Structure 1
Amino acid sequence: MNKGSISFFEVKQCGFYSTKDHKSVYEEGTMEEIINSFCEWVKGRDFSQTIPWDSTAHPRRTQIYCKSIAQDAETKDTLLVLWRRFGDDSGKVSGIAPDAKVGLDTSDSIKIDPKVKGQSAFLGQPMYYWFIPRRNVIATVNFPHSSAMTKDVCDYIKRCLDYRISHPRKKINETESVNPNNGKAIIRKYITYMSEDNTRTMRSKFHVSIKELNTDKANAARLAKRISHIVVRDTISTQKSDNKDSLFNLWSKVKGKKTFSKHVEIIEEVTLSESEVSEIIKVHNKEYNPLDRWNNIGFRESGNDTTRWFNKYVSREHIKLEPLAENHTYYSADVVLKELINQRDELLIQIPNDVAKIEGDDIRDECDVGEEHVA
């Protein structure tokens, strides 16, 4: 099974904002509306047409495309499979031979330029993004074969909204100048929107917190008051030596082994803070292997010798999917969203229904300014 780890991020701004006293003031728009309009825009398009800007005019900007979408009718949750492209058609993706040596020799690098149906393939990695409008939260679902770039994804959605998605009160102002280096024309577009009463100018915004939501915070606060001992089970290896127990000597003669594994259990009396419990939970979630019947982290309460294991006591934000089929490099949005919906209540149990109040503040969107763009 492939394990997908889930990280939640709070949505700070989403919608259309005017400006008052140098601060953003929320006017209208919701995540559900914006994602719905995005899904409507990409539906039926060629994959290569799902990037909203001219990639040749912005060669250094991360190129993101949309490959697959799925929406749940009841919860309004949406799963996007986005594609982060490496390099471009010019063959700028390259590799180094695994047996290369450190030094000045440059002959051991190779250019990667596979062809699909006679065309250069879009080399890259999938990114799985789960949008949860009713909680004002988005989440990344990370598998070993995928990646995540949350800020770039938010900028991508915003640029799709500004450059490609229709809006009844959108205004596009263009200015043209000449590039002094090559004499070519530069067209800059300034995108604004008018309020419903046509009295205020608005701009679109889509910001999330750069800090991952700590969904185990409630458990950590509760457990910090109850834990009296930490129990750690681990497996260590030990090298055979002359003073080892006779059992090791006997077994080494039979099997010829010189290294042995031992199961150890350490029980330590502790007084832990909430942050320390949170750190233990993070380590456990990262390292716990359900197929390993020994290695684990647990705790005991005062006056009770029963060990409670964290894997059975705290929430675990991950899903498991069948391995990818041969020659497949990503999961469809339907497959991922179906599993998320199956476990939705458990995965969201510690996220409040209104974790983030969408409102205005003094965050300035880097996309607010006009930029070179070819429609």
Structure 2
Amino acid sequence: MNYFTVNKCGLYRQTSPKPQGLDLAETFEAITNWVRGKPLSDTLPWNANARSGKPKCYCKDIYTSEITGDILVVLWKSESSGSGNLLGAPEDAKTGEGNVVTQDAKFKGKKVIWGHPMYYWIVPSEELVVSIKFENSVCDSQLFQDWITEAVTNRVDHGNKKKEYTASGQTRLSFADGTVGGDFRYRYLFDVSLKTENTANAAMTALASNITHVIKRETITLKTADERAMWVKLFNTFPHLKPAPNSKTREIEIKAQARPTAAEVKKIIEGYARENRSPAEWDNVGFLTSDNKTIWVDRYRLTNSIAYDIPKDQIVTAVDLCEAIAKKRTNFLAPQIGGHAIVATTRTGT
């Protein structure tokens, strides 16, 4: 489990930071009404042709608890390849229905959308979003935010939604407040960020006091020599450091002396920590401490774990996962309420 703070959710005017309607509960109620009874293929909230190269994303399942008001959303990220076996979700199955199948060259049957599920637990009472990663699922918080934003903007029914056309023929969607003589225009925004340890936490304070350097790793694209930054070109003057003739990238590590405060450390962690960074991935940000240890920003995410038995190559329904969470809801909410990280690994059963 990775915890996210909800920075924005609702209808915003450009001149005001305060939302006017469509909070977390209202947003997901509207989305639930929109996807109810729809086949999977009809829950893509944007024009696929307008987002070429971007993964498609659908709503596989959604459930709201009448007791807690929590929402469990299962999105479906379409992928043509990826780690582990891809799963196929029937494209004509209605929201919350339809079994998945395992990718197989010999598979024949109904049309399916190949990909992986993404599980998100939304807690309106705490202004909180939690991503849940199992062995056969993926996490993509940016895609999740995009899907919610596009679904509300383009698809859900809302009494004050306005559709206008620009001089160039483009469609402009907005929301109005409906007041007589006012008719102020609003834009729907949905933004979340990973939660990290509180700056008052002893571990964060201790980390800040021991930092001697900030480290940034980045992969540089070497299309042409002229496109590279001057400081990168300086490496050409050193022996054995030139990239291979056909090399298109170079892995660079920058290490700068720094003594950031706890607040500055928290800001760096929040800006660069990720929920789904691969251990083998080069690009990262971290700190070098006085005892010569390297600590990467992902270590200070607020995390937790849930054990759930999942049949091999199957997925969890929204209602079942929501009910499993409800049994230990207080424990699962403790890290974000208390500001203390519980670093653990999510596991699945077989």
Please name the residue that 2:186 is paired with: 202
> How far apart are residue 172 of structure 1 and its match?
0.6
Residue 54 of structure 1 pairs with residue 47 of structure 2: yes
Aligned pair 1:331/2:316, yes or no?
yes
1:7 aligns with 2:6: no
Render the CA deviation track for 1:65-88: whole Å, top value 9, x for unaligned. 11111211121101111111014x
- Structure 2 residue 313 is matched with structure 1 residue 320: no
Confirm whether residue 165 of structure 1 aligns to residue 156 of structure 2. Answer: yes
TM-score for the superposition, normalised by structure 2: 0.58
Greater fraction of residues in helix:
2
Do 1:221 and 1:274's aligned partners in 2 also have CA atoms closer than 8 Å?
no
Distance 1:19 1:340, change over 3 A: same
| Bigger radius of gyration among the two | 1
Aligned positions of 1:207-286 closer than 5 A: 207-209=191-193, 212-214=194-196, 220=202
Q: CA deviation at 1:114?
A: 6.5
Counterpart mapping for 1:104-115 below 5 A: 115=107
Which one of the candidate residues 65, 68, 73 is aligned to 2:58? 65
Partner AA of 2:6 in structure 1? V
Structure 1 partner of 2:325:
340
One-letter amino acid of the counterpart of residue 7, structure 1: N
Q: Is the CA contact 2:303–2:335 (under 8 Å) kept in the aligned structure 1?
A: no
Q: Whole-Å Cα distance in 2 between the matches of residues 333 and 73 of structure 1?
A: 14
Distance 1:86 1:316, change over 3 A: closer
Whole-angstrom CA distance in 2 between matches of 1:145 and 1:217: 34
Moved over 4 A (4+): 111-116, 215-224
**Deviation for aligned residue 1:168:** 0.7
Aligned to 1:214, the other structure's residue is in SS state coil
What is the Cα deviation at residue 329 of structure 1? 2.7
Confirm whether residue 188 of structure 1 aligns to residue 175 of structure 2. no
Amino acid at match of 2:174: T
Q: Which amino acid aligns with 1:204?
A: Y
Instruction: Give the distance between the partners of 2:187 and 2:132, measured in 1 at CA.
Output: 30
Which structure is higher in strand share?
Answer: 1
Q: Is the CA contact 1:216–1:350 (under 8 Å) kept in the aligned structure 2?
A: no
**2:165 paired residue among 161, 174, 186:** 174
Deviation at 1:217, TM superposition (A): 7.2
Deviation of 1:346 after TM superposition, in Å, equals: 0.7
**2:100 corresponding residue in structure 1:** none
Q: CA deviation at 1:352?
A: 3.6
In structure 2, how many angstroms separate the alpha carbons of the residues matched to 1:166 and 1:159?
13
**Residues 94 and 112 in structure 1, CA contact (< 8 A), matched pair in contact too:** no
Note if 1:351 corresponds to 2:336: yes
In structure 1, distance between residues paired with 2:136 and 2:30: 29
The change in CA–CA distance for 1:188 and 1:316 in structure 2 (over 3 A counts) is closer
Q: Does the Cα contact within 8 Å between 2:77 and 2:117 map onto a contact in 1? A: yes
Residue 214 of structure 1 aligns with an amino acid whose one-letter code is T
Asked if the contact 1:19–1:25 (Cα under 8 Å) also holds between the matched residues in 2, the reply is: no
**Which structure has more RCO (C-alpha within 8 Å, separation ≥ 6)?**
1
Q: Give the counterpart letter for 2:329 in structure 1.
A: R
Q: Kindly tell me the number of residue pairs found equivalent between the two proteins.
A: 228
User: Quick check: 1:10–1:213 contact (8 Å CA) kept in 2?
Assistant: yes
- Alpha-carbon distance in 1 for matches of 2:165, 2:24: 28
**TM-aligned CA deviation for residue 58 of structure 1:** 2.3
TM-score for both structures, normalised by structure 1: 0.54
Q: CA deviation at 1:16?
A: 0.2
Find the residue that maps to 2:132 and give its secondary structure.
strand
User: What do residues 232-251 of structure 1 show as CA deviations (whole Å, max 9, x unaligned)?
Assistant: xxxxxxxxxxxxxxxxxxxx
